[in-house]
Structure 1
Amino acid sequence: MNLVDPRSIYALWLRDVKRFLRAPSRIVGSIAMPLLFLVFLGFGFSGAAIPGLPEGVDYLQYLVPGMVGFTMLFGASFAGMSILSDQDVGFLKEILVAPVSRTSIVLGRIAGGSTTALVQAGLILLISIPLGFRVDSALGVPLAAVFLLLIAITFVGFGIALASQFRDSEGFGLVIQFVIFPLFFLSGAIYPVESLPSAIQTLAFVNPLTYGVDGLRAVLVGTSAYPVLLDFGALVASSIVMVGVGTYLFERVEPV
C-alpha cells in the first residue's frame, strides 16, 4: 500500500467540495457570524479610540483580516464534523477498510477542508470591499492566499485530530465551539494583543491564529505587530505539527 495515493486524495477532496457547493445553507451559515461581527463591530467602533490600534489605520481596516482569519478558523475546524457525519452514515468505515493508507485519507480531508474554508474566507473578503475595506497593494492578495492556506491546514489538522477522539458529532460540536472562541478572542482579531494582561498575552503567543491574523494584516493592510517572516514561520510550524498530530491520531481510529 502506498503511503500517499494522489487518486484517493483527489477523490476525497472532490467529494468534500461537491458536498459544500451543493449545500447553499452551509455556505450562508459559514459566513453569517463573521459577517455580523464585521458589520456591527466595524461600523459600531468606527472612529473610536481603541488602545493599541496602529496609527492611521481605521478600525474596519484593522478588523477585516481578523474576520477573515476567524472565518478560516471556524470553517477549517468544523471539517472534523464531516468525519463524524461520515461515521454516522457508514462511509468512514468503508474508507477505513479500503486499501488506502490513513495518511492519504487525512491529506484528502485536509485538502477538501482547506478548499472550502478558503472559499468562505474569500467571500468575507469580497463582501468587505463594498463596506469600505481597501487592500494595501495588489501583491497583498496572493500573499494573503498563502497565509490563508497555512491557517486552513493548521486548523483542519486540528479538527481531524479532535474528531478522531469522538464517536458522536454532538459532543464534538460542543467541544469545538468551546475551543474556537478562546482562540478567536486571543488572536488579536478584534483588538490588539498588546491590550491584554501580560499573563493572557502569553496564551496569545502560542495561538497559531495570532500569527495568521497578524500576517494577513501585514499583507492586506500594511501593518503588523510582528515581522512577516515570524508570522509565516510560526504558521508553517503549526501546519506541520497539526497535520502530524491529526495523522497520528486518525491512524488509531478503529472502524465501527
Structure 2
Amino acid sequence: MSATVADVVAARVPERSWRSEWRAVKTVCNRELIRFVGNRAQIMMWLIQPLLFLFVLGSGLQSLSAASTSGVDLKTFIFPGVLCFAVTFSGMLSAASLVWDRELGFLRELTIAPVSRASILLGKCLGGAIIASSQGVILLTLAGLVGVPYDPILILGVLGLLLLLAVTVTSFGLLVAVQIKQAQTFTSIMQLFVIPMVFVSGALYPVSGLPTWLGALNRIDPLTYAVDPMRRLVFDHLDVSDAARQTLDPGVTWWGWHLPSALEAGIVLALGLAMLSVAIWRFSRTE
C-alpha cells in the first residue's frame, strides 16, 4: 500500500501597514454598529432613563422650582445635562462589549489576528462613540418640546460637544473594561462611576452656591466640562433675564476665573485621548 503525501498549502501573512490597520479599525467598528442596530429593544431601553429624567422628573419638580428659575422651564434647564447623561450611559455600556467578547472567547480570535491591539481598541472606541452620539442625536430631536430652539449653530455646537463627550466616555469605559474579566463586575463599576458623575456635574441643578465640598467635587468631575459649555450654548439662544442667566448658568470657575467653552471642550478631548492611550497600553500588555 503506497503512502500518500498530503499537499502542503503555503500561507502568507500580509505585512502590517496603515491600510491593514485602518481596515481592522473599520471592521471592528462596523461589528459594533451592526450588533447595536440589530438590537432595537436595547436602543429603546437605553433611552428610557434619560426620557424619565427629562419629562417625568423635570415636569414633577417644575412646580417646586418655578420661584427660583425666573420663568425658565426646568426641562429647558436640565436638557443639556440629560443629553450628557444619555451619551455617558450609552458610551459606558458600549465599552462593555469588550468584556462580553472576552467571556465569549471572541476577543481571543481578534487578538491573534495579524493586526495591532491598538487597532482593535480604536475600532471599539470609534464604534462606541458613534453609538453613544446617536443616542444624544435622538434626544436632540426633542429639543423643541422643552423650549430649546432648532438653531443651526446651536445644533452643530451641541453635536460637536456630544461627539467629544462620547469619545471620552467610551475611552474611559474601555480603560475599565480592559482590566475586568466578568460582565457583572463591569456593570457594578459602571453604576459606581456614572451616577455620581452625573449628579456631581450639575447636570440636574445649578452649580452656583454649592457647598465647598460639593463645589470641589464638581470641578474635578470630567462631565462638568461637557455639561457647562453645552448649557451655555443653549442659554445663548434663549431669551432669558440676566437674573435667570446668573442663577442657572453661572459657568465653571477656577479661583474666580470663568473657563471659556473652548478650554472646557479641550479638557474633555484631552482626558479622552489620555484615557484611550492608557487603555491601549494596558490592552497591549494583557495576555
**Common topology (TM > 0.5):** yes
Q: Name structure 2 gaps, 5 residues minimum.
A: 1-15, 237-244, 253-259
Name the structure 1 match of 2:51: 35
Alpha-carbon deviations, 1:103-148, whole Å to 9, x = none? 111110111000110111111222343x333237320111111111
In structure 2, distance between residues paired with 1:52 and 1:244: 44
Name the structure 1 match of 2:277: 244
Name the structure 2 match of 1:164: 178
| RMSD, aligned CA | 2.0
Name the structure 1 match of 2:156: 142
2:141 match: secondary structure: helix
Where in structure 2 are the equivalents of 1:115-126 lying within 5 Å?
115-126=130-141
Name the structure 2 match of 1:45: 61
1:189 match: secondary structure: coil
In structure 1, distance between residues paired with 2:124 and 2:192: 23
Change (3 A) 1:195 1:41: farther
Name the structure 2 match of 1:213: 227
Most deviating of 63-72 and 83-92: 83-92
Alpha-carbon deviations, 1:13-49, whole Å to 9, x = none? 1111111110011100111111111111221122543
Name the structure 1 match of 2:90: 75
In structure 2, distance between residues paired with 1:133 and 1:97: 52
Name the structure 2 match of 1:65: 80
In structure 2, distance between residues paired with 1:213 and 1:109: 25
Q: Percent identity?
A: 31
**RCO comparison, higher one (Cα < 8 Å, 6+):** 1
Shift of 1:57: 3.4
Shift of 1:212: 0.6
In structure 2, distance between residues paired with 1:190 and 1:125: 17
In structure 1, distance between residues paired with 2:122 and 2:270: 17
1:194 match: secondary structure: coil
Does the CA-based 8 Å contact 1:10-1:108 persist in structure 2?
A: yes
Q: Name structure 1 gaps, 5 residues minimum.
A: none
In structure 2, distance between residues paired with 1:43 and 1:181: 21
In structure 1, distance between residues paired with 2:105 and 2:36: 19
Name the structure 2 match of 1:229: 262
User: Which of these residues, 102, 114, 131, is aligned with residue 99 of structure 1?
Assistant: 114
Name the structure 2 match of 1:191: 205
Shift of 1:194: 2.6
Does the CA-based 8 Å contact 2:143-2:150 persist in structure 1?
A: no
| 1:176 matches 2:190 | yes
Change (3 A) 1:243 1:140: same
Does the CA-based 8 Å contact 2:143-2:149 persist in structure 1?
A: no
| 1:108 matches 2:123 | yes
Shift of 1:52: 7.8
1:42 match: secondary structure: helix
Change (3 A) 1:7 1:30: same
In structure 2, distance between residues paired with 1:97 and 1:15: 17
Change (3 A) 1:40 1:120: same
Shift of 1:246: 1.7
Name the structure 2 match of 1:155: 169
Whichever of the two has the greater Rg, that structure is 2
1:64 match: secondary structure: helix
User: Number of residue pairs matched?
Assistant: 252
Alpha-carbon deviations, 1:177-219, whole Å to 9, x = none? 1111010101110001234321121121111111111121122
